[in-house]
Copies of this chain bind each other. A is one copy, B any other.
Amino acid sequence: MQKATLTILGCGSALPTKNNFPSAQILEIRDKQFLIDCGEGTQIRMRQMGAKTNRLGHIFISHLHGDHCFGLIGLISSFGMLNRTADLHIHAQPDLERIMKVQLDYFCESLSFQVIFHHFNPKKHELIFEDRSISVYSIPLKHRVPSCGFLFEEKPRDRHILREMIDFYNIPTWRILKIKQGEDFETADGEIIPNDQLTVVGELPKRFAYCSDTAYSEKIIPIIEGVDCLYHEATFMETEKKRAKETFHSTARQAGEIALKAKVKKLIIGHYSARYIHQDELLDETKSVFKNTLLGEDLTTYEI
């Protein structure tokens, strides 16, 4: 079984703290890595975790506040020093390319790989990337500046071939992949065995949604409905609800409400204001609404 995992490199908010770097996380799915946001110190966290990043091809930036993108130039620069050759794709709002171009031209003049920017419109919910096994959709959020979450959706996985059928029909190894992908099997006698006698449905495709930074917004619910895992910001406690509203952030309780209403399977909270030393308070508040909540923590890997 292929696991899908989320590794949180940083789940602090604007001001870093002793334990929390600014936003950055790696989604590993179908043997690929996707970096979501890239706050200052992202490459440092990667090195602290001994993370291998050779399968990291795409970076998604939710919005253009520094705590979500100041780590890009250092990461790219270090990839250059490590002689990376694979293209690096950055999905972001158009302004980022313009800002980064000045830095890339100066600091990363003779990079060993291409940095390719892909622009998306943060106000639209649409497919912004897909390959053979994954689709990524934008999720318009509600923030002081245009901000956008991301829905990662696996495409259907192969069917499971039944071991006893392989033995019964003497199915040769070289046919197995095609049968998993839905083909029927023709025996030596010319008998056609329909695929649904040989296979059962494989694992259900996983869905993961990243929603940060955002004020409480029910508009996202139809998009993230039923996801296996939702990462939702929980910058403040309910006691700071007014401040949350003013700054277009969510409270821990609101994160739980969104998870509940969207019937997600699991919620991970993060993007904590630096004022909270004991983040368990935030977790308790969310759990009072939505039980299957985990506290996001830096340098931690979660199963999706």
Interface size in chain A (residues, C-beta < 8 A): 30
Closest residue on chain B to residue A49 by CB atoms: B18
- Listed from nearest, the 3 A-B pairs whose CB atoms lie closest are A40-B74, A41-B41, A16-B44
Copies of this chain, how many? 2
Closest residue on chain B to residue A70 by CB atoms: B74
Bound-complex Cα distance A229 to B98 (A): 43
Bound-complex Cα distance A95 to B21 (A): 29
Bound-complex Cα distance A44 to B18 (A): 8
Shortest distance from the beta carbon of A246 to any chain B beta carbon, whole Å: 14
A192 within 8 A of B: no
Which residues on B sit within 8 Å (CB–CB) of A82? 15
Which residues on B sit within 8 Å (CB–CB) of A65? 107
Mark A residues whose CB is within 8 Å of B.
14-18, 21, 40-41, 43-44, 47-48, 64-66, 70-71, 73-74, 77-78, 81-82, 95, 98-99, 102-103, 106-107
**Besides A15-B78, A15-B81, A16-B43, 10 new A-B residue pairs in contact (Cβ under 8 A), listed by A number:** A14-B78, A15-B82, A40-B40, A40-B41, A40-B74, A65-B107, A66-B73, A66-B74, A70-B73, A70-B74
Shortest distance from the beta carbon of A133 to any chain B beta carbon, whole Å: 31
B71 and A15 within 8 A (CB): no
Shortest distance from the beta carbon of A18 to any chain B beta carbon, whole Å: 5
Of B71, B81, B99, B106, which one neighbours A40 at CB under 8 angstroms? B71
